[in-house]
């Protein structure tokens, strides 16, 4: 269970970006989490709720988009979702597949409210 | 207002691991990250490796929750060994290995073995700058490990199946296990750190220092 440390990293990325944008509050945090990232989304959300208390991100919604595992066949180039019972390429049966998605773990975007709406206008965002 | 971020949560780990990997490559050092459940025989495999090392110079970084029992076992073989206590963490990360490297002269080594914390889940996510990942499993753990923990097997370079001397006594479907490893496209080396069976194949892989 290493979600606590990971959630701390998530929060520090979120707070840094929010501060950079001059935000008064973070309302939503969108994450992409691969199926094989070894991170449990519910656990991450739980810790985020605790760690974010007293910060700009207190009460922010945490949205997790799970990214499925996908392989690319090194033999024929076919991209496919492997079955646990059959990792081999369904097109050419080669088992020289390489993982192309499924290990992602990143903060995709955040939604914030700006204290100073003037700065939001000048940066071209509304 | 939405702000695109697109930042890897483990960017700091990955950056450090990448720097270490570049440094290891400069020395021509082959770095093996050994992963597996508690009791699979990771330390036993390392001990057997050291006693068969010949002129291959091997150093060991031992990851453990709290004790130095494994490091003491390794030190008896005369190898350079550094203990990292994770204090309860479920995996090693790049910064822990980086710190350990201050206490080991990697320039004098051919191979550095990193024994990860016993766990088939968490170590997967943490790049340690290794050249190769090895998953050690053992007969008593059962033949369904690949099906249950595909991520770690998929991230491995090779899989070592230990305790094959117990096959006559434990219900373990070897054909099924071999099929699941072949299915995920990995090479399997079967050994017994107890009887010494199969360890020549392991040493051959290590000496070749090719993933
Ligand atoms: Zn194919």
- Over residues B129-168, the pLDDT tens digits come to 999 999 999 999 999 999 899 999 999 999 999 999 999 9
Paired tokens of B31: 């770095």
Strand B158-162, strand B132-138: pairing: parallel
What gap in Å lies between CA B178 and CA B161, rounded to an integer?
10
Tell me if chain B has a CB within 8 Å of the CB of A25. Answer: no
pLDDT in tens, A34-52: 999 989 999 999 999 999 9
Inter-chain CB proximity B9 and A84 less than 8 Å: no
Q: Is the pLDDT of residue B124 over 90?
A: yes
CA proximity to A24, closest of A94, A118, A104, A87: A118
What does DSSP say about strands A61-67 and A70-73: parallel, antiparallel, or unpaired? unpaired
Residue B28 has pLDDT above 80, yes or no: yes
Q: What is the mean pLDDT of residues B177-195?
A: 94
CA of B188 to the centre of ligand 1 (A): 22
Residue among B3, B91, B154 whose CB faces A112 most closely: B3
Give the minimum alpha-carbon distance from A45 to chain B in angstroms, rounded to a whole number.
Answer: 14
The pTM score is 0.89
Per-residue model confidence as pLDDT tens digits over A106-126 = 999 999 998 665 444 444 443
Average pLDDT, chain B: 94
- pLDDT score for A117: 54
Query: Which tens digit of pLDDT belongs to each residue from B191-202?
Result: 999 999 999 999
CA distances from B138 to A117, B106, B132 (A): 61, 30, 20
ipTM of predicted complex: 0.82
Q: Do the chains contact at A109 and B6, CB–CB below 8 Å? A: yes
A122 touches chain B (CB under 8 A): no
Alpha carbons A41 and A62: distance in angstroms, whole number: 9
Burial zone of A83 (CB within 10 Å; 0-12 exposed, 13-18 middle, 19+ buried): exposed
Mean pLDDT (chain A) is: 89
pLDDT at A13: 97
- The alpha carbon of A70 and the centre of ligand 1 are apart by a number of angstroms equal to 13
Residue B138's pLDDT is 98
Q: State the average pLDDT over residues A45-73.
A: 96
Measured CA to CA in angstroms, residue A18 lies from A22, A46, A50, A122 at distances of 6, 21, 18, 16
What pLDDT score does A116 carry?
Answer: 63
Contact A109 B4 (CB under 8 A): yes
Average pLDDT of the segment spanning B108-116: 95
Pairing of strands A23-34, A105-114: antiparallel
Give the tens place of pLDDT for each residue, B68-88.
888 888 888 888 899 888 777
Q: Measure CB to CB from residue A107 to each of B1, B5, B150 and give the nearest one.
A: B5
Instruction: Tell me the average pLDDT across B103-120.
Output: 93
pLDDT at A68 over 90: yes
């Amino acid at each position: 269970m290493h979600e606590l440390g990971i959630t701390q990293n998530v929060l520090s990325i979120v707070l840094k970006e929010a501060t950079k944008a001059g935000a008064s509050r973070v309302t939503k945090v969108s994450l992409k989490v691969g199926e094989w990232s070894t991170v449990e989304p519910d656990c991450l959300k739980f810790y985020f709720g605790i760690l974010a208390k007293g910060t700009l991100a207190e009460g922010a919604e945490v949205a997790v988009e799970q990214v499925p595992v996908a392989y690319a066949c090194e033999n024929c180039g076919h991209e496919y979702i492997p079955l646990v019972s059959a990792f081999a390429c369904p097109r050419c049966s080669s088992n020289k597949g390489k993982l192309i998605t499924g290990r992602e773990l990143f903060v995709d975007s955040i939604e914030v409210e700006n204290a100073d709406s003037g700065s939001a206008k000048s940066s071209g965002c509304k | 207002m939405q702000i695109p971020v697109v930042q890897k949560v483990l960017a700091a780990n990955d950056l450090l691991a990448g720097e270490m990997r570049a440094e290891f490559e400069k020395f021509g050092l082959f770095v093996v990250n050994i992963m597996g459940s508690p009791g699979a025989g990771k330390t036993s495999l390392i001990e057997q490796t050291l006693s068969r090392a010949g002129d291959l110079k091997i150093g060991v970084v031992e990851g453990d929750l709290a004790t130095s029992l494994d490091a003491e076992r390794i030190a008896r073989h005369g190898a350079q060994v550094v203990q990292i206590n994770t204090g309860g963490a479920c995996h090693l990360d790049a910064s822990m290995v980086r710190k350990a490297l201050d206490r080991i002269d990697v320039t004098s080594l051919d191979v550095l073995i990193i024994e990860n914390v016993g766990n088939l889940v968490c170590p997967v996510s943490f790049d340690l700058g290794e050249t190769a990942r090895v998953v050690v499993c053992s007969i008593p753990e059962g033949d369904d490990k690949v099906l249950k923990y595909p991520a770690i097997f998929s991230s491995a370079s090779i899989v070592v199946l230990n305790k094959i001397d117990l096959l006559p006594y434990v219900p373990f479907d070897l054909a099924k296990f071999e099929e699941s490893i072949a299915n995920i496209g990995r090479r399997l080396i079967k050994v017994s750190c107890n009887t010494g069976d199969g360890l020549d194949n392991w040493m051959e892989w290590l000496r070749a220092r090719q993933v």
